[in-house]
Amino acid sequence: MSAPAKATAPDIATLEEQERRLVLDAFTHDDAWRLGCLLVELARERQAPVAIDITRGGQQLFHAALPGSTPDNDAWIARKRRVVERYQSASYLVGSRFRAKGTTFEDSSRLDPDVYAAHGGAFPLCVRGAGVVGVVVVSGLPQIEDHALVVEALERFTSGG
């Protein structure tokens, strides 16, 4: 099997379009399990050393640490998840908006970088009519690839594939 092509950095319009498009009709405990297992399957296919986490309403519904991941990935998960919870947007989009203004999240958000990380890999679980109900996070790859893996899984999940 050949290695997947390197992900390229999406622009802000693309990131915003992903959020508009990847809206769910519902998100249950069973959905968290199915989405988490799909992410594990995709990561294993790529031998990606990632940790995966899904929360809803502050409750952890799914967590997996694949070979090569470390406890540090769990710390990144928590920091990226907090960004989504605070801004109600993907962690990569939040960081991209700061970069587009010629600054960084760390320099301009006034938030503790030991608590918040606007790096790719955390994506809001948005339910139609209810807003953001949870967060799905991947940590262990370069941030663009963490983000791309989550988006790919959500695209498959929302299409029933």
| CA 153 vs CA 54, 73, 97, 160, 161: distances in Å | 13, 19, 24, 11, 9
pLDDT tens string 130-139: 999 999 999 9
Task: Supply the CATH number for residue 83's domain.
Answer: 3.30.450.150
| Count of domains for the chain | 1
Please give the pLDDT value at position 9.
78
Domain that holds residue 131: 12-158
Whether residue 117 contacts residue 91, with contact meaning beta carbons closer than 8 Å, is answered with yes
Q: Is residue 26 part of a domain?
A: yes
pLDDT tens string 61-81: 999 999 999 999 999 999 999
Please give the pLDDT value at position 118.
97
Q: Is residue 7 part of a domain?
A: no
Q: Is residue 4 part of a domain?
A: no
Q: Is residue 126 part of a domain?
A: yes
In this prediction, residue 126 has a pLDDT band, given cuts at 50, 70 and 90, of: very high
Please give the pLDDT value at position 84.
98
Q: Is residue 51 part of a domain?
A: yes
Predicted TM-score (pTM) above 0.75? yes
Q: Is residue 3 part of a domain?
A: no
